């Protein structure tokens, strides 16, 4: 019986690509921001990242993605640097090119989608990404009107103000990232 491997290079390449693109753009590209960016890449830009997200403490979350970023770091594709106030910064590491090369077909195919993601969401910190990705997650699973969506979000995450939530809903709706009745 021949030995076969089923290494998900596409998934690893996406992690490396996001680290590369967000290194100089994102004010806070760490594990939480990675979770949100991969969710948005999948949901808004329809890139097949092959991660299943559920709603969790800080918004959409994939346990498999959390494991994969650690594995990519162990392979030298990304560097996880612990911050002074907790959390991690994700940046490209010495084997980033090697991993990206293994996933070059998907990275080239979706180059425009990666660029759009970075342009639309790259400048947000983890908290801002949490709010946006959670609104999109809730809307995707329960298309509703603006006031119901705002109420659902503030019940789930009371540390976001009603004004803050309403402003982000308006922004996301204007950009057609939400489907509202």
Would you say residue 151 lies in a domain? yes
Is 113 exposed, middle or buried (CB count within 10 Å of its CB: 0-12, 13-18, 19+)?
Answer: middle
In this predicted structure, what is the pLDDT of residue 27? 81
- CA dist 134 and 33 (Å) reads 12
The helix-helix angle for 111-121 and 9-22 (nearest 10°) equals 40
Would you say residue 181 lies in a domain? no
Would you say residue 4 lies in a domain? no
Output the six-digit token pair for 93.
């590491």
The pTM of this model reads: 0.92
- How many CB atoms lie under 10 A from the CB of residue 56? 12
Would you say residue 74 lies in a domain? yes
Would you say residue 3 lies in a domain? no
Would you say residue 170 lies in a domain? yes
Would you say residue 43 lies in a domain? yes
**Tens place of pLDDT for every residue, the chain, 181 residues?**
454 445 699 999 999 999 999 999 988 899 999 999 999 999 999 999 999 999 988 899 999 999 999 999 999 999 999 876 778 899 999 999 999 999 999 999 999 999 999 999 999 999 999 999 999 999 988 767 778 899 999 999 999 999 999 999 999 999 999 987 7
Contact 153, 138 (CB under 8 A): yes
Would you say residue 58 lies in a domain? yes
Which structural domain, as residue segments, surrounds residue 114? Answer: 9-174
Contact 49, 106 (CB under 8 A): no
* Number of domains making up the chain: 1
Q: How far is CA 47 from CA 103, 109, 156, 172, 178, in A?
A: 13, 9, 28, 19, 17
- CA dist 170 and 160 (Å) reads 15
């Amino acid at each position: 019986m021949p030995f076969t491997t089923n290494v998900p290079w596409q998934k690893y390449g996406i992690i490396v690509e996001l680290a590369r693109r967000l290194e100089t753009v994102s004010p806070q590209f760490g594990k939480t921001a990675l979770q949100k960016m991969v969710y948005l890449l999948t949901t808004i830009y329809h890139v097949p990242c092959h991660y299943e997200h559920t709603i969790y403490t800080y918004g959409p979350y994939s346990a498999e993605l959390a494991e994969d970023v650690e594995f990519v770091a162990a392979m030298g594709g990304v560097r996880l640097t612990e911050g002074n106030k907790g959390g991690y910064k994700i940046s490209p590491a010495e084997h980033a090119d090697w991993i990206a090369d293994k996933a070059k077909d998907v990275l080239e195919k979706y180059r425009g989608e990666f660029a759009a993601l970075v342009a639309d969401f790259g400048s947000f910190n983890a908290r801002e990404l949490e709010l946006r990705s959670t609104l999109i997650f809730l809307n995707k699973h329960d298309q509703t009107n603006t006031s119901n969506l705002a109420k659902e979000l503030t019940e789930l995450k009371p540390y976001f103000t009603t004004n803050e939530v309403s402003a982000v809903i308006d922004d996301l709706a204007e950009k057609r990232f939400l489907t509202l009745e």
